Amino acid sequence: MDNNAKIYIAGHGGLIGSAITDRLRELGYLNLLTRSRKELDLLRQQKVEDFFKKEKPDYVILAAARVGGIETNISLPAQFIYENTQIQNNVIHSAYISGVKKLLFFGSACSYPRQALQPMKEEYLLSAPLEPTNESYAIAKIAGIKMCQAYNKEYKVNFISAIPANAYGPGDNFNSKDSHVIPALIRKFQEAKLKKHPAVTIWGSGQQRREFIYVQDIADASLFLMLSYDSSMPINIGTGQDITIKELALIIKNIVGYDGDILFDTSYPDGIPRKLLDISKITVLGWKAKMPLKEGIIQTYQWYLQHGKTNE
Ligand SMILES: NC(=O)c1ccc[n+]([C@@H]2O[C@H](COP(=O)([O-])OP(=O)(O)OC[C@H]3O[C@@H](n4cnc5c(N)ncnc54)[C@H](OP(=O)(O)O)[C@@H]3O)[C@@H](O)[C@H]2O)c1
């Protein structure tokens, strides 16, 4: 990928897409192609085909998707399966037709079986049933990975798939209905601090273990893979470390400076007891995440204090 290569970042305004766009610029890639949803709705097949025909990007990073928390995954399964399959079908097929040299697709750790052994290796995909609450999203993501593999096999292209752990960082979505764990907890503790609430209640027992990765580490890994990974087999991007939700809540409580109590509402389900990616493959290739969790949460909290209100 030389510095003049034309690189299309689909979803450049999103959490991961914007970190990738910034990282590309930092590394001196200046021929970047971006379109807002208003300029190019990726659900519209003809528009996507016309765009690729006209612009002929050399490389594509497909970070556009319909993403959400557990609530929207449960209540909007049709939207999750339709929008994700439609976006990826349109972009992947047009990339093939227009002769794109390499494409990176993002899968999700939600695509691993519900009771997968931990840590989760790439070959566990499709080995057992999925978690029902995010099945539509997971199926769409698996279809994207399989589509890249099928196109590699039949059309001899170079379309790779990466599976990141839960992302967090500056630019995250702090909307109370649709946010992931870290932004949701930052917001809860900050509001409780300002309103002087005596306690913050967290859903579940707090004992479930999860893995989190700073978004700039995902961006760094993505570019590493664009430069050095050419296999059809998806590859995990993680830190190799997990933490209980209780430990995470304590870290965030301290960073925010909230001095009330934390209560755990066990009438809500915990979900899968543990979710940790096996990172042997990317580690052997020579990549490692850099941002320690605590420092990453401090950066995210600072960002929230500056931009959070407009992002809720
Ligand atoms: N965040 C995570 O923890 C995580 C973990 C593993 C994998 N992933 C995967 O990584 C990728 C990026 O995730 P993210 O967290 O960065 O998502 P995000 O913040 O929600 O960003 C998604 C981007 O896609 C754009 N988009 C959605 N529908 C579109 C459409 N019809 N036309 C044009 N643009 C559209 C959005 O534009 P608007 O802003 O206009 O909606 C937004 O810029 C996704 O494939 C996701 O499945 C994410």
Q: Where are the domains of the chain?
A: 7-168+212-240+276-291
| Residue 61 CB coordination number (10 Å) | 28
DSSP, res 129? P
How far does the centroid of ligand 1 lie from the alpha carbon of residue 108, in Å?
Answer: 12
Closest CA to 221 of 100, 102, 104: 104
Q: Which atom of ligand 1 is nearest to the CA of 180?
A: 3
Parts of the chain with a pLDDT under 50:
none
| Active-site residue, 168 included | no
The pLDDT of residue 82? 98
Q: How do beta strands 261-265 and 32-33 pair?
A: unpaired
Phi, psi angle pair for 33, to nearest 5°: -115, 120
Distance from the Cα of residue 90 to its chain's centroid: 20
Question: Is 164:105 a contact under the CB 8 Å cutoff?
Answer: no
The domain defined by 7-168+212-240+276-291 carries CATH number 3.40.50.720: yes
Residues 6+ apart with CB under 8 A from 2: none
Question: Is 173:179 a contact under the CB 8 Å cutoff?
Answer: yes
Q: How do residues 196-244 score in pLDDT, each as one tens digit?
A: 999 999 989 999 999 999 999 999 999 999 999 999 999 999 999 999 9
Q: Distance between CA atoms of 119 and 217, rounded to whole angstroms?
A: 19
User: What are the strands of the beta sheet with 235-237, ordered from one edge?
Assistant: 32-33, 7-10, 59-62, 102-106, 159-164, 235-237
Q: Which atom of ligand 1 is nearest to the CA of 67?
A: 20
Q: H or E element: which one contains 9? A: strand 7-10
Kindly state if the Cβ of 42 falls inside 6 Å of ligand 1. Answer: yes
The pLDDT of residue 146? 98
Question: Is 178:68 a contact under the CB 8 Å cutoff?
Answer: yes
Q: Which atom of ligand 1 is nearest to the CA of 167?
A: 3
Place of tokens 């190799």: 240
**Residue to mutate (ligand 1; options 61, 67, 103; most atoms within 8 A of CB):** 67
Catalytic residue selected from 137, 168, 214, 301: 137
Q: Distance between CA atoms of 113 and 99, rounded to whole angstroms?
A: 34
**pTM of the entire structure?**
0.96
The pLDDT of residue 68? 86
How far does the centroid of ligand 1 lie from the alpha carbon of residue 159, in Å?
Answer: 19
Place of tokens 């292209």: 157
Place of tokens 């934390």: 262
- Per the structure block, which two tokens stand in for 303? 């960002």
Q: Which atom of ligand 1 is nearest to the CA of 141?
A: 47
How far does the centroid of ligand 1 lie from the alpha carbon of residue 13, in Å?
Answer: 8
Kindly state if the Cβ of 63 falls inside 6 Å of ligand 1. Answer: yes
Kindly state if the Cβ of 166 falls inside 6 Å of ligand 1. Answer: yes
Residue whose Cα lies nearest atom 36 of ligand 1: it is 11
Q: Distance between CA atoms of 234 and 49, rounded to whole angstroms?
A: 26
Distance from the Cα of residue 41 to its chain's centroid: 20
How far does the centroid of ligand 1 lie from the alpha carbon of residue 16, in Å?
Answer: 7
Q: Distance between CA atoms of 294 and 296, rounded to whole angstroms?
A: 5
Question: Is 267:224 a contact under the CB 8 Å cutoff?
Answer: no
Q: Distance between CA atoms of 166 and 179, rounded to whole angstroms?
A: 12
Kindly state if the Cβ of 41 falls inside 6 Å of ligand 1. Answer: yes
Question: Is 20:222 a contact under the CB 8 Å cutoff?
Answer: yes
Kindly state if the Cβ of 95 falls inside 6 Å of ligand 1. Answer: no
Q: Which residues pair with 149 in a beta bridge?
A: none
Place of tokens 């930092």: 26
Kindly state if the Cβ of 101 falls inside 6 Å of ligand 1. Answer: no
Q: Which residues pair with 102 in a beta bridge?
A: 59
